[in-house]
Amino acid sequence: MNNIQKMEGDKMRATKIDMRNVNFKGNVLDIGSENYGVIYNLIKEDECEISVDYLINDISKESEHYMMYETAVIFFSLSKLWNNFERKKLLFETWQTLKKGGELHIWDYEKNTKEIINENITVTLKNDKIKKFNYSNKNPFCEFSLETSKKILEKYYEIEETSLCSGIIYLKAKRKGILKDESIANSHKFKIHSQQPSIEVFKGIYQGIKLSGRNKGIFNK
């Protein structure tokens, strides 16, 4: 899925990710703790406008956004949550928004306890466009790995593809149909508060997680 290169500098590490061949199916929910603009710029190649949703509180089976999206993307955000319980809650909430068989794509950074991450990341997009951002995780208690990701994903998703290159984690998974135990969801859900054509990303309730989405069906190309 990605071609990743890492360079070492005097003060800060730098990573290059090639996402020119990344394609998402259908309508997409973009989930990120920071508005890096990478997923937005990938999507806008196919869209004249982008819908950004402010998600708060409850998403239920009666919500218009329940099982609405064909694809969800969590971009360099899962690792920033404090523990696996919070990560499981976010993954379940994402599961709720996906249609049956919907795809989840995760990009993130592997981190050990006490490790401080401060990384400049350069992403090559379609048409050789370049997007740069800084990934920083200074939480000494935070730990995140590919194996951790796989374990918390398995309850809600069928894992189809994984990779780990130069500390960058990538996972592709498909939404499972019916869950035996949905108790974790009842503790923390969300609903749509507002929707408007915009590129602004609003702050969501999930520990600073910002949730943005675009619906392919509501705009004319």
pLDDT, tens digit (0-9, with 9 covering 90-100), for 78-111: 999 989 999 999 999 899 989 999 999 999 999 9
* Contact call for residues 16 and 4 (beta carbons, < 8 A): yes
Residue 176 lies in a domain: yes
Residue 16 lies in a domain: no
User: Given this model, what pLDDT does residue 187 score?
Assistant: 41
Strand-strand pairing, 117-124 and 13-18: parallel
Q: Which long-range contacts (CB under 8 A, 24 or more apart) does 99-102 make?
A: 99/26, 99/67, 99/68, 99/69, 99/70, 99/175, 100/67, 100/175, 100/177, 101/174, 101/175, 102/67, 102/69, 102/70, 102/71, 102/72, 102/174, 102/175
User: Given this model, what pLDDT does residue 1 score?
Assistant: 56
* Contact call for residues 22 and 45 (beta carbons, < 8 A): no
User: Given this model, what pLDDT does residue 26 score?
Assistant: 86
Least confident segment among 3-7, 92-96, 206-210, 217-221: 217-221
* Contact call for residues 219 and 27 (beta carbons, < 8 A): no
Residue 39 lies in a domain: yes
**Residues spanned by the domain of 113:** 29-117+140-214
User: Looking at residue 89, which CATH number applies to its domain?
Assistant: 3.40.50
Q: What would the mean pLDDT of 57-72 be, rounded to a whole number?
A: 70
User: Given this model, what pLDDT does residue 120 score?
Assistant: 94
Residue 112 lies in a domain: yes
> From CA 44, how far away is CA 30, in angstroms rounded?
12
Residue 23 lies in a domain: no
Least confident segment among 28-32, 75-79, 157-161: 28-32
When pLDDT is cut at 50, 70 and 90, the band that residue 3 belongs to is: low
Tokens 């995140």, residue? 144
pLDDT, tens digit (0-9, with 9 covering 90-100), for 4-52: 555 554 455 679 999 999 989 888 888 877 778 888 888 876 664 554 4
150: left (phi over 0), alpha (psi -120 to 50) or beta: alpha
Q: What are the tokens at 125?
A: 């997009």
Residue 170 lies in a domain: yes
Rounded to two decimals, the pTM is 0.77
Residue 78 lies in a domain: yes
Count of domains for the chain: 1
Task: Indicate the SS3 state at residue 20.
Answer: coil
Residue 219 lies in a domain: no
CA distances from 161 to 106, 126, 181 (A): 10, 22, 25
